[in-house]
Amino acid sequence: MKWIDRLTECVDYIEENLNGQIEMDILCDKACLTRLYFNRLFDAVTGIPVHEYIRRRKMTLAAKELLSGQKKVIEAALDYGYSSPEAFSRAFKSVHGIPPSQVKQQGSAIKSFHRLTFSISIKGDQEMNYRIEEKKAFALLGEAITTTAVEGQNKKKIPVFWQKVNSQGICDQMCAMASEPGKMFGVCFDENSDKTFRYGIGVPYANGEKGQFEVMNIPEAKWAIFESRGPLPQAIQNVWGRIFAEWLPATGYEIANLPQIEYYPLNESPSQDDYCEVWIPLADEK
């Protein structure tokens, strides 16, 4: 029940501060997760990114106040943390489909998004194959991009990044410098920003020539390693979602503040049954 309780505390905090400042650090502390892991967990469990949930809830309350005449647009903009009426109007229109100035017009329809509540619902209709392994620290040589989970941009940008690496000869250049052939990794690194994270693609690296690539260090850790089979990127995205929506709440494991890893064994002929792995770092049991 702890993950449900933690998420409930997070939503309580959001609801109590819709008219104030909502600090991502506080949300992460309540969830006992880093920004990257919290965003993944919230999105997987609720089906909506936390920033979008906050925006929808603010715009729901703002529409009610504008419709009743309690506030003017500029007052609502300031109360809900927007720097200008224009920024508020854009957010309002993205949720309701109309600008706030039209709320009182006859026939105008506004949307209502209610407070989230949580309960455990473990489907269990499809097994998740995983194992626990301890691995020593290692390094990767490769390239990285900055992306965001806002509006699912990472699910679009990361496959495009992989396509670039594979189509422009970057993969071959990396593999020529690899200390262990036949292995490639995708890694999510947390950032200080509450909206962005870095995603790197690399191969095992010991020392020597780096070329134009960067070195990405992975510390020693205990990992929960999940198998993924099926066409990419859909299969591995499905595994990520199930880890946070099903496996984590059901098992009660704690996640360590370390990178998330995707492991891709290189093969000559990709198939509809492509095999890869997702590695989740586990915190030491207290």
143: nearest Cα among 169, 124, 117: 169
pLDDT at 28: 92
Q: Which of 22-26, 50-54, 61-65, 267-271 has the lowest mean pLDDT?
A: 267-271
Given CA atoms 160, 166, 170, 175 in this order, what sign does their dihedral have? Answer: positive
In a domain, 266, yes or no: yes
Domain match, 271 and 183 both: yes
Domain match, 154 and 251 both: yes
Domain match, 201 and 250 both: yes
Q: 159 burial class (0-12, 13-18, 19+ CB within 10 angstroms)?
A: middle
pTM of whole model > 0.85? no
Question: How many helices (H) and strands (E) in the chain?
Answer: 10, 8
**What string of DSSP letters covers 133-174?**
EEE--EEEEEEEEEEE-GGGHHHHHHHHHHHHHHHTTHHHHH
pLDDT at 180: 92
Q: Which domain holds residue 8?
A: 2-102
Domain match, 134 and 32 both: no
Contact 250, 279 (CB under 8 A): no
Domain match, 157 and 249 both: yes
pLDDT at 123: 53
In a domain, 125, yes or no: no
pLDDT at 215 > cutoff 60: yes
Question: Which domain CATH number covers 165?
Answer: 3.20.80.10
Q: How many domains does the chain have?
A: 2
In a domain, 237, yes or no: yes
286 pLDDT band, cuts 50/70/90, is: low
pLDDT at 121 > cutoff 60: no
State the average pLDDT over residues 59-88. Answer: 92
Question: Which domain CATH number covers 39?
Answer: 1.10.10.60
State the average pLDDT over residues 126-152. Answer: 89
pLDDT at 231 > cutoff 70: yes
